[in-house]
Amino acid sequence: MSKVKQPKTPAADAAVRMTTAEATVQALIAHGIDTIYALPGVHNDPLFDALFQAAARIRTIHTRHEQGAAYLALGAALATGKPQVYSVVPGPGLLNSAAALLTAYGMNAPVLALIGQIPQSAIGRGLGHLHEIRDQAGIIARLVDFSARIRAPTQAAPLVARALRAMRMGRPGPAVLECAIDVWGRSAPVPAAAPVLPVPEAPIDEEEIGNAAKRLADAKRPLIVVGGGAQDAAAEVADLSRLLQAPVLAYRRGRGVLDSRDPLSVTLPLGRELWGEADVVLGIGTRLFYSYAQWGIDAELAVIRIDADPDEPERFARPAVALIGDAKSILRRLIDALPAHHRPSRRAEMEERQAKMRRRLEKLAPQIAFLDAIRAELPEEGIFVDEVTQIGFAARLLLPVYRPRTFISPGYQDNLGWGYATALGAQHARPDVPVLSIAGDGGFLFTSNELATAVHHRIPLTVIVFNDGAFGNVRRTQEEQFGNRVIASDLTNPDFVRYAQSFGAEAERARSPLELRAALQRAFKRRDGPSLIEVPVPQMPSPWEFIHMPRVRGAR
Ligand SMILES: Cc1ncc(C[n+]2csc(CCOP(=O)(O)OP(=O)(O)O)c2C)c(N)n1
Ligand SMILES: [Mg+2]
């Protein structure tokens, strides 16, 4: 562990008597954490008392279910790119939050969980303490890369610092700190100033930069593929794309890195065509899952990977070049190292191909009409939070996205029901822009109880619920692929408008894209509480032929 450097002030040297809980809260504040999303309980009472004392510097946003607390933290982390914190009780509290933690892991999102524990001396004995769960630490260690238990007041600040560093170092992602019910309230003299550990930047391999630059400069049909790891390198991706006249493919987590109005900005179906033609592909902060798993690879294609995780580039196949570290710094070096060269513009070619693909995608006309209404009303800097629903699947392919971190999609977990609570966290952390959550009637009821949280904390989130009376995606599959044997996919719903109103939210029904536009205008004007718009919809055409597509390279 690197040594902590503190400025030599008397205050920093002084020791102050603090409880473990107080030391933890001080340490969070020292790291710039200004909010904790939480649901209390006896195991964490001293933590909440410490939060009460520190309320001027750190806000506590309590939710109505532990999954809500964790999703709010996740949404805040995704909307800001900054670490966020949630806290829940052990056992059921931890498990209630676990799907969000899993999603945070899959998305490499910096979320710190503070989880209670039974009395320190009883851990592992199976006595039947309140909320006891067998091997809680072992369960946690399977879910995240960094976890530890705070066992004394003096350990609190150093462990918070280590967790927050681990969340940003190498492969970023969530971390967990446990603390026993009898340890939170214990006090001891601790250093007055909490340590903050620097995050060392991985050294850039200049030889590999040269290698990558040469391959890209020599490439005849270069393609760039971006994932969530490129969200903070948008300017560099745009520069490189322009220099190379290389199209930039983004699907779920990479949307918004290159502005959709740029004709070089493409999504899956056109991206697959370009993958089939490419001689050099540069993957930035992406697993290249669809490319490798579905579209294939052969000896004619050289793949260059930029990734924060040293283990990632080799997972599918050994790349021609792997550059490990921060995408932004690596791309800057790569652009500087690129031999001067001029390429003819591909604008006309790409505009024509985009238009052709767009005509094929017209098959999704009902979805497109709603997406057009959304795009017309959601401001350029507004944030769209995706769900596992028909409009969401189409949005990943077709919604124009203009800026990084304005399209928030759950990545490979494709975790139904994550949307509303995640969007609530995004809206809480970004009160300066409108956030729009979309959901199906199925997914919405997973976390719609957090309407109460939105009203209580006056969070002005807008949600559109597309109501087809079904787990529509499942039902359509049963109809089309299983001889119409429809089972477990029809839904009995509440009246969503009256449901939302009963929480104190504003709500209305929109029966067409035009009505949706008017409803969105009204909703985005409200800044003191949540709005819901219910849109009754029929079954929609399947998007899957544009998502799961056959091989274009390698053995067939
Ligand atoms: C956690 C989780 N459970 C189950 C699924 C499987 N699943 C995918 S889509 C879907 C139905 C979604 O229904 P709804 O939200 O109403 O959207 P619709 O397809 O009707 O537009 C289900 C059950 C999933 N993706 N994630
Ligand atoms: Mg539905």
pLDDT by residue (tens digit) across 156-195?
A: 999 999 999 999 999 999 999 999 999 999 999 999 999 9
Helix (H, G, I), strand (E, B) or coil at 21: helix
**Closest Cα to residue 288, out of 300, 270, 273, 306?**
306
CA 281 to ligand 2 centroid distance, Å: 37
CA 386 to ligand 1 centroid distance, Å: 12
pLDDT confidence tier of residue 6, bands split at 50, 70 and 90: low
Q: Which of 385, 416, 448, 476 to mutate to test the pocket of ligand 1 (most atoms within 8 A of CB)?
A: 416
Atom of ligand 1 nearest to the CA of 444: 15
Atom of ligand 1 nearest to the CA of 540: 21
Q: What gap in Å lies between CA 142 and CA 319, rounded to an integer?
A: 28
Exposed e or buried b per residue across 294-327, where buried means at least 16 C-beta atoms within 10 angstroms of its C-beta: bbbbeeebbbbbbbbbeebbeebeebebbbbbbb
Asked if residue 9 has pLDDT above 80, the reply is: no
| Orientation of helix 268-277 relative to helix 347-361, angle to 10° | 130
* 59-62 sheet: strands from edge to edge: 59-62, 35-38, 84-88, 111-117, 175-180, 146-150
| Side chain identity, residue 330 | I
Q: Which of 101, 445, 473, 489 to mutate to test the pocket of ligand 1 (most atoms within 8 A of CB)?
A: 473
Predicted confidence (pLDDT) per residue in 233-277, tens digit: 999 999 999 999 999 999 999 999 999 999 999 999 999 999 999
Distances (CA, A) of 52 to 73, 179, 229, 447: 19, 19, 36, 27
Chain centroid to CA 511 = 31
Q: What gap in Å lies between CA 118 and CA 275, rounded to an integer?
A: 53
Helix (H, G, I), strand (E, B) or coil at 446: helix
* 407-408 sheet: strands from edge to edge: 407-408, 383-385, 435-440, 462-467, 531-536, 506-509
CA 441 to ligand 1 centroid distance, Å: 9
Helix (H, G, I), strand (E, B) or coil at 321: strand
Predicted confidence (pLDDT) per residue in 54-104, tens digit: 999 999 999 999 999 999 999 999 999 999 999 999 999 999 999 999 999
Residues with CB under 6 A from ligand 1: 388-390, 414-417, 440-443, 466, 468, 470-474
Residue 323 pLDDT: 98
pLDDT confidence tier of residue 325, bands split at 50, 70 and 90: very high
Task: List CB contacts of 525: < 8 A, sequence separation 6 or more.
Answer: none
Q: Which of 471, 477, 487 to mutate to test the pocket of ligand 1 (most atoms within 8 A of CB)?
A: 471
**Residue 39, number of CB atoms within 10 A of its CB:** 21
3 touches 136 (CB < 8 A): no
Predicted confidence (pLDDT) per residue in 210-231, tens digit: 999 999 999 999 999 999 999 9
Asked if residue 120 has pLDDT above 90, the reply is: yes
Asked if residue 49 has pLDDT above 90, the reply is: yes
Distances (CA, A) of 378 to 362, 449, 521, 556: 22, 25, 9, 43
Calculate what percentage of the chain has a pLDDT beyond 70. Answer: 97
Residue 2 pLDDT: 45
DSSP E strands in 348-446: the ranges are 383-385, 407-408, 435-440
Residue 1 pLDDT: 39
Q: Nearest ligand to the C-alpha of residue 387?
A: 1
Q: Which of 388, 479, 489 to mutate to test the pocket of ligand 1 (most atoms within 8 A of CB)?
A: 388
CA 390 to ligand 1 centroid distance, Å: 9
Considering only CA atoms, which residue is closest to atom 23 of ligand 1? Answer: 471
291 touches 275 (CB < 8 A): yes
CA 465 to ligand 1 centroid distance, Å: 13
Mean pLDDT of the chain: 96
Predicted confidence (pLDDT) per residue in 522-551, tens digit: 999 999 999 999 999 999 999 999 999 999
pTM of model > 0.95: yes
Residue 5 pLDDT: 53
Considering only CA atoms, which residue is closest to atom 21 of ligand 1? Answer: 389
Q: What gap in Å lies between CA 159 and CA 101, rounded to an integer?
A: 19
Question: End-to-end alpha-carbon separation of the chain, Å?
Answer: 50
DSSP β-bridge partners for residue 490: 470
Distances (CA, A) of 290 to 30, 271, 412, 495: 41, 10, 11, 39
CA 442 to ligand 2 centroid distance, Å: 5
Considering only CA atoms, which residue is closest to atom 4 of ligand 1? Answer: 416
CA 468 to ligand 2 centroid distance, Å: 5
